[in-house]
Amino acid sequence: MVCARAALGPGALWAAAWGVLLLTAPAGAQRGRKKVVHVLEGESGSVVVQTAPGQVVSHRGGTIVLPCRYHYEAAAHDHDGVRLKWTKVVDPLAFADVFVALGPQHRAFGSYRGRAELQGDGPGDASLVLRNVTLQDYGRYECEVTNELEDDTGMVKLDLEGVVFPYHPRGGRYKLTFIEAQRACAEQDGILASAEQLHAAWRDGLDWCNAGWLRDGSVQYPVSQPREPCGGLGGAGSSGTGGGAASGGVRNYGYRHNAEERYDAFCFTSNLPGRVFFLKPLRPVPFSGAARACAARGAAVAKVGQLFAAWKLQLLDRCTAGWLADGSARYPIVNPRARCGGRRPGVRSLGFPDATRRLFGVYCYRAPGAPDPAPGGWGWGWAGGGGWAGGARDPAAWTPLRV
């Protein structure tokens, strides 16, 4: 359920001299670091204590606690009469229900069913435990505590460890509306990146001279190595830390018409629950044979986001191009060397080769727990032997063979 909400007046925030834990960690705070802030006494003499932990960070598949605590005069109020409500901010004034509790009655909503529950660490604890974190869980959450006619709120930002990657489909650059960009990222195991995620990726060295949609509807692109074709040598429209005539930054086109204008996309993905691996069959495969080659190993052709996650988070390094699920050919480089595309780490792209003529290996993704039906010495070929025969052999007739 998504609802719009009017902003609270300043008097409502501290009217009852009890408060909610506010979770705005200082920028650059180390993970797990804590500080305690003592707030002035309210009219009733109660003291509100805010505990601000470091960055609330998780990864896909992880478990995280969104901390929230409240305090008021126990003699004057019954904790069982307090309503606790968690919502997710989906737009500046739009909220999606996540979890609500009133005494012993608890309810989670939508995709949070079966994954969200209260921590329940004594009176005054409204912290929410979120299990099996998904990419879609990224964002800001509001913890609201209501007692009779009084309420107060606190905000928690849930960040995810992961990687930002630029994307455009086979049709070419600048072909995606905002909705199409969202769909394209989802098809490649990702979500549209946020402006904060893109800025962090730029700080880590991401340099991409094509503008792309972000999740807030803005269009931006990161430039680490300033040059004239990529927004010039700095200045207006850039957000960065450098100065002078040759400063890099994130070039910003602002908010664009999301149904008419077309750009690329900047996607974000996180930790993989399974494994990406390179498969080199006995004979090179056209794109049409890639799915069968992976299926013989209990896997599917890897998506672009899965390859980026394996490169960034699992340190996959392979100087051989392979097919991916969208028909592109790419390879991941962790340790740069001259014969593997230059001096910078990254995922190299050969674009979208002709699927009928260009033959590569294939990058496969095996989900956790999926068995490998052909471990070790198994490959692909034709029963009875024989060579490629100029392409006359049909990859659909391939069978697993011990090699």
What is the domain-level CATH number for residue 185? 3.10.100.10
Q: Evaluate if residue 374 carries a pLDDT over 80.
A: no
Of the three residues 269, 303, 319, the one that is the final residue of a domain is 269
What percentage of the chain exceeds 70 in pLDDT? 73
Q: What is the pLDDT of residues 274-297, one digit of tens each?
A: 999 999 888 888 999 999 999 999
- pLDDT cut 90: percent of the chain above it: 55
Pair (129, 190) in one structural domain: no
pLDDT, tens digit (0-9, with 9 covering 90-100), for 139-173: 999 888 887 777 788 888 999 999 999 999 999 99
3-state SS assignment for residue 315: coil
Residues 51 and 153 in one domain: yes
Domain end among 144, 160, 176? 160
Same domain, 287 and 358: yes
Q: Say yes or no: 66 and 154 in one domain.
A: yes
C-alpha span between 120 and 240 (Å, rounded): 42
Please indicate whether residue 22 or residue 118 has the higher confidence score (pLDDT). Answer: 118
Asked whether residue 68 falls in the same domain as residue 89, the answer is: yes
pLDDT surpasses 70 at 382: no
pLDDT at 250 over 90: yes
CA dist list (Å): 278 to 294, 302, 319, 360, 380: 9, 10, 10, 11, 14
Q: What is the pLDDT of residues 166-185, one digit of tens each?
A: 999 999 999 999 999 999 99
- Sign of the torsion angle spanned by Cα atoms 328, 331, 332, 337: negative
Whole-number pLDDT of residue 394? 52
Most confident region among 18-27, 224-233, 258-267, 386-395 by mean pLDDT: 258-267
In this structure, are 283 and 198 located in the same domain?
no
379, part of any domain: no
d(CA 257, CA 178): 8
Residues 127 and 81 in one domain: yes
In this predicted structure, what is the pLDDT of residue 152? 80
Within a domain: 287? yes
CA gap 190, 165 in Å, rounded: 9
Structure confidence at residue 238 (pLDDT): 60
pLDDT number for residue 395: 47
136/126 same-domain check: yes
pLDDT at 230: 86
Q: Are residues 288 and 356 in the same domain?
A: yes
Both 198 and 210 in one domain: the answer is yes
Residue 401 clears pLDDT 50, i.e. is over it: no
Q: How confident is the model at residue 51 (pLDDT cuts 50, 70, 90)?
A: very low
155 part of a folded domain: yes
Other residues' Cβ atoms within 10 Å of the Cβ of residue 356: 10
- Domain span at 223: 162-227+249-269
Q: Is residue 212 part of a domain?
A: yes
403: in domain: no
pLDDT at 145: 86
pLDDT tens by residue, 180-215? 999 999 999 999 999 999 999 999 999 999 999 999
Question: Do residues 51 and 155 both lie within one domain?
Answer: yes
Do 325 and 265 lie in one domain? The reply is no
What's the pLDDT at 262?
Answer: 97
Q: Does residue 42 sit within a domain?
A: no
Q: What is the per-residue pLDDT across 1-42, written as a single tens digit (0 to 9) for each?
A: 555 454 444 333 333 333 333 333 333 333 433 333 333 333
- Give me the chain's average pLDDT, please: 79
pLDDT-based confidence at 338, cuts 50/70/90? Answer: confident
pLDDT the model gives residue 77? 54
Question: Rounded to an integer, what distance in angstroms lies between the CA atom of residue 298 and that of residue 371?
Answer: 6
**Residue 328 confidence (pLDDT):** 96
- Inside any domain, residue 300: yes
pLDDT on residue 331: 97
| More confident position, 326 or 75 | 326
Write down the pLDDT at residue 40: 32
Starting at the edge strand that comes first in sequence, how are the strands of the sheet with 128-130 ordered? 64-66, 128-130, 116-118
Rounded to whole angstroms, the Cα distance separating 310 from 347 reads 10
Split into its structural domains, the chain has a count of: 3
Query: What CATH number is attached to the domain comprising 56?
Result: 2.60.40.10
Is 28 within the bounds of a domain? no
Q: pLDDT-based confidence at 72, cuts 50/70/90? A: low
